[in-house]
Amino acid sequence: TLVKSLFRETEKHLDKEVYLSGWVRKIRDQKNFGFIELNDGTFFKGVQVVFDNNLANFADVAALSISSSVLVTGKVVKSQGAGQSFEVMASKIEIVQKADLEYPLQNKRHSMEFLREIAHLRPRTNTFSAVFRVRSVLAYAIHKFFNEQNFVYVNTPIITGSDAEGAGEMFRVTTLKLDKPPRKEDGSIDASQDFFGKETNLTVSGQLNGETFCAAFRNIYTFGPTFRAENSNTSRHAAEFWMIEPEIAFADLTANMELAEDMIKYIIRYVMEQCPEEMEFFNQFVEKGLFDKLNNVLNNNFGRVTYTEAIDILLKCGKKFEYPVQWGIDMQSEHERYLAEEHFKKPVFVTDYPKDIKAFYMKLNEDGKTVRAMDLLAPGIGEIIGGSQREDNLEKLESRMKQVGLHPEEYSFYTDLRRYGTFPHAGYGLGFERMLMYVTGMGNIRDVIPFPRTPKNALF
């Protein structure tokens, strides 16, 4: 029996003998018969297994605990009970193991905080079963989207000597020498313990390496882990997260925004089509109105506004913000939320930010004050994409690097791209977890990463 199709389309197996393996999600028994809700992992929903005292080991089966592992032979029949149309009448149940009674996920509601502490067991709950199946399908949708448009998938390094974002929040990579402390007596870091004598860190973005492949393959994307040492204990920041970074050649910021909008719509549509049961669950139990929100995204153009216009909207809206609004500020989450949730009421691109609050590689506008940057702000989440058109002029790039304290000679791999056939190009980074939060309605980034690396979580 094809197990997946059995759990999804039980009716196709009516009157057939089936062989199942899985875990007991629920069990109740009466004197001479009982019911097991069995889940085999291939589908969000389980199947009801009916057993009675014809089983040689009836008493042992009736005494099974939640999460016990079993092998079931039986026949698919129409169900008399409410709740399911079909069930499996067991002719044989082999017990692989009766689970320890201390299993923490007994049938009652658990708080998200409690479930985070048992990250190794939470994938067995309904909520996390739905989240992590959708995470897998969403990743596939992203690869499928770029593949269909002939983008080349590039793996960029995780250990690197460069700092793409200049945010100064990196994890340093060192080799561990057992006989030497990592710092010298005067407190300075012992460089002999660096990565083979070089200063390295975990990557904050694959963009700079991605750009080098863009100069060869035209359109490329990366999809990999990214690390930021920021200690911000928010529901949207993780120290380890995944980022998708496309880079497109002979393209400007407008093409970049079009690509981002097409991608977001494509992946939302794909997940809604491929995961109907999981999405229904989120719509009912996690975010009421999720379907309306997503359909609204699919059926409308994203908003577009420049930073200068956005500041104007914020100044004139009459709302009192905690952090004062003024041209030049790095917008805080209260400002981004107002723009996306109350003003535009849909995802909105904010473009052309002041150069001083953005990274060195962004293309300088004619005004000399702003750069060709774009952030996509989504209602309920805030920034899900950050991107820009890149500075393709060698002199301007080198002068920007010096202004922010980078040494162009250390980035010759990057400036070479502006020497050997420079070209207009653009790209962006999509935070994979933030996108997953948006699609599922889950409110905390810790609950969309299998094993979150945030300051307070256990690190197994």
Q: Which residues bind ligand 4AD (CB under 6 A)?
A: 164-165, 205, 207, 228, 230, 237-238, 241, 243, 245, 383-388, 427-429, 431, 433-434, 445
Residue from 57, 52, 54 nearest 70 by CA: 57
Taking the CA atoms of residue 443, residue 445, residue 447 and residue 449 in that order, the dihedral angle to the nearest 10 degrees is 150
Q: Whose Cβ is closer to Mg ion: residue 46's or residue 386's?
A: 386
Taking the CA atoms of residue 9, residue 12, residue 14 and residue 17 in that order, the dihedral angle to the nearest 10 degrees is -90
22's contact among ligand 4AD, Mg ion, none, with CB below 5 to 8 A by partner kind, is none
CA dist 362 and 428 (Å) reads 11
Q: Whose Cβ is closer to Mg ion: residue 61's or residue 359's?
A: 359
Q: Whose Cβ is closer to ligand 4AD: residue 363's or residue 434's?
A: 434
CA dist 58 and 52 (Å) reads 7
Binding mask 327-366 for Mg ion (x = CB under 5 A): ----------------------------------------
Check residue 354 and report its DSSP letter: B
Q: Which amino acid is at 355?
A: K
Q: Whose Cβ is closer to ligand 4AD: residue 61's or residue 331's?
A: 331
**Quick check: 386 binds Mg ion (CB under 5 A)?**
yes
> Is the separation of the CB atoms in 79 and 85 below 8 Å?
yes
CA dist 68 and 99 (Å) reads 4
Q: Which two tokens stand for residue 51?
A: 């057993």
User: Measured from the CB of residue 271, what is the shortest distance to ligand 4AD in angstroms?
Assistant: 17
User: Measured from the CB of residue 114, what is the shortest distance to Mg ion in angstroms?
Assistant: 32
H/E stretch holding 59 reads helix 58-62
434's contact among Mg ion, ligand 4AD, none, with CB below 5 to 8 A by partner kind, is ligand 4AD
User: Measured from the CB of residue 304, what is the shortest distance to Mg ion in angstroms?
Assistant: 17
User: Measured from the CB of residue 242, what is the shortest distance to ligand 4AD in angstroms?
Assistant: 8
Q: Whose Cβ is closer to Mg ion: residue 166's or residue 424's?
A: 166
**Quick check: 427 binds Mg ion (CB under 5 A)?**
no
Check residue 99 and report its DSSP letter: P
- In terms of phi and psi (left: phi > 0; alpha: psi -120 to 50; beta: otherwise), the region of 303 is beta
227's contact among Mg ion, ligand 4AD, none, with CB below 5 to 8 A by partner kind, is none
245's contact among Mg ion, ligand 4AD, none, with CB below 5 to 8 A by partner kind, is ligand 4AD
